[in-house]
Structures are given as C-alpha cells and as structure tokens.
Amino acid sequence: MPDPVCLGIDTSCYTTSVACANQQSIVFFMGTMLSVPLGGRGLRQSEGLFQHVRQLPDLLSELFSAVDRTAIRAVAVSASPTSREDSYMPVFLAGLSQAQALSAALSVPLIRVDHQSGHIRAALFGNESLLDADRFLAAHVSGGTTDLLLVEPHRDAPYRIEPVGTSTDLHAGQFVDRVGVALSLPFPAGKHLETLAGSAVRKNVKLPSAVKGTNCSFSGAESAAQRLKGAVPDGELAYGVYDCLSRTLSKMFSAAAERYGDLPVLVCGGVSSSVLLRKLLGERFGGLLYFGRPEFSSDNAVGVALLGADRSAAWKN
C-alpha cells in the first residue's frame, strides 16, 4: 500500500495550485499563475474565478498522473481567505466545488481550511520545531494581507490565531505591485522589482516608513515612490521599496515583542519569498526570525495539503 497523502487545492487571487502531502513530505505540487494584462494591477473576482475553473482540470490531471489515487485519504481545500467567520472571496469557490466533487468521487473526507492558515503551515514545513512552541508570531505578507498574528499551534487541530497588527491601507504586496507597474514591470511585480533592485548602485532612497504600534501604512510610501519615479534610477527606487518594507516590518515586530515578549517570528506570504527582503529583515530585526522555503512562500496548495494531513484521521490509525 502506498503511504497515505492528503490532496490540497488552493484557488487564491492570482494562483491556481494543487498538492499532495503527508506530514513528512511533499509528494506533488504544481501551480499556475492567473493571467493579468500588461499594465494591469489585478483582476476582478469574477475573472479570477473563471480562470481557476479553466486551469484546475489540467492541474488535477497532472496530479493524478503522478500520484496513486488509492493513497489519497482526504481532500483539503482553502475555502476562505482567513479563519474569521466573515471571511469570504468568490475565487475560493472554484477550489471548493472541485474539492467537494473529488471528496465524493474518492469517498474520502473533505477538510476545509483557510488560505492564511495554509500559508502559515507551508512556512512551518522545515520549521516544525515551532509546532511545539506555546505560541509564536506569524507575519503574513502578501498582496492581500500585511497581517501580524499571534499563533498558538496544534499538531492535529486548527491553530488558534489572534490578530495583532495589520496595514491600515495598502498591503505590502500592493505597494510592491503599484511601484512595479509604474516602472513598466509585469504584474505581479515582486520578482521583477527585486531583480531591478539588484542593479542599484547607490542605496540611499529612503521612503517613509509609517508604523503606529503594531499597525502600519504604505500609502505614503507609495505616493513618495511615485513622485521619485524618473528622478532617481529605477533600480535605486526598487531597492528603496524593499528597504522601506524591511524597516516597516522590523518596527512592527519590535512593537509586538514589547507587548508579548521575545517570541519567534515566522514570516510567510508571497512578499516574503524575496531574498533581498529576508536579508534586510535579518540585518534590522534583532529577534528570532523563521522563513518558509521560497518556493512555498507564494500562494500554494502545499500548506493546505499539510493542514489536511495534520487533521486527517488516516494518520492516527
């Protein structure tokens, strides 16, 4: 008999992805970005939902070609953006409908999780020591969130997640994308902006970092970056964006440490895949930082599959 695995599906705002995993290993992972027209700064939910519906069958076909379906003991899916009761986005309906059908067809349990918890669990892969901690801080840094969270982990149950801080306007990924698109880069702009930042010779562009307690704001920094466009080399402006992000997040982490003590900080979400941001955060924040593997930091179904494996009774028999 093959080792049991959980099939995970995630249909976020900009990525369709599927995965199979157990608590020890990632057996399969594949994701496809949604298509955004050049110069665009996002997609309507209806367009994202349509693209997910078109892309999921091909991804699932690849998965079933690579994975023995008799090994699948549960199907997990991100059914909402976060664990809050009022959390909802239409794009997640694409994955939920497919997961419900697969659960019935395979006669295995359906496990509903949330996208944010999936990001946290994906970042915990390779950092499993944090699962034995009483609590830790998680920073979910992406295009849709800049959330600082207090997490009480459990190995076989949903995590208890308490919001600690957030952005009051633009999120970190929106800041990156808006500056990137203004510099004629494709959307999402993160990888392209980081590459551009690598060309910076002088690194003295200081965009404003607005932090009040454990909350932050990026609208002022984005406006300042737009005013500097054309006045400084593009690479220096790009570097200034990551410098601003690192200063802002470091201030938020330090404020949380004053409130909760010196807890470890797990940084997850698509923006956290940046090697430059990781380097700058490590230089500026004196506390203990953990990062997920870069390939599992952007939106993905790996964390969803791992959460399903954690919660499935198949691994307890």
d(CA 311, CA 245): 35
- Average confidence score pLDDT of the chain: 94
Report which of residues 159 and 184 the model is more confident about.
184
pLDDT for 22 beyond 90:
yes
Rounded to an integer, what is the distance from CA 91 to the centroid of its chain?
Answer: 16
Tell me: the pLDDT tens digits for 214-236? 999 999 999 999 999 999 999 99
Question: Which of the four pLDDT bands, split at 50, 70 and 90, describes residue 135?
Answer: very high
pLDDT for 312 beyond 60:
yes
Tell me: the pLDDT tens digits for 253-305? 999 999 999 999 999 999 999 999 999 999 999 999 999 999 999 999 999 99
Q: How many residues are given for the chain?
A: 317
pLDDT for 209 beyond 70:
yes
All residues at 6 or more sequence positions from 167 whose CB lies less than 8 Å from its CB, including other chains: 146, 215, 216, 217, 218
Average pLDDT of 102-129? Answer: 96
Q: What percent of the chain has pLDDT over 70?
A: 98
What's domain 5-126+297-315's architecture?
Answer: 2-Layer Sandwich (3.30)
Average pLDDT of 78-83? Answer: 94
pLDDT for 21 beyond 90:
yes
User: Does the domain formed by 165-291 have CATH 2.60.120.1140?
Assistant: no
pLDDT score of 313: 55
d(CA 8, CA 20): 6
Q: What percent of the chain has pLDDT over 90?
A: 87
Of residues 13, 5, 119, the one with CA closest to residue 73: 5
Would you kindly state where each structural domain of the chain is located, as residue ranges? 5-126+297-315, 165-291
Question: Which of the four pLDDT bands, split at 50, 70 and 90, describes residue 36?
Answer: confident
pLDDT score of 159: 87
Domains 5-126+297-315 and 165-291 share a fold: yes
Question: Which of the four pLDDT bands, split at 50, 70 and 90, describes residue 40?
Answer: confident
Question: Which of the four pLDDT bands, split at 50, 70 and 90, describes residue 23?
Answer: confident
* pTM of the predicted protein model: 0.94
pLDDT score of 154: 80
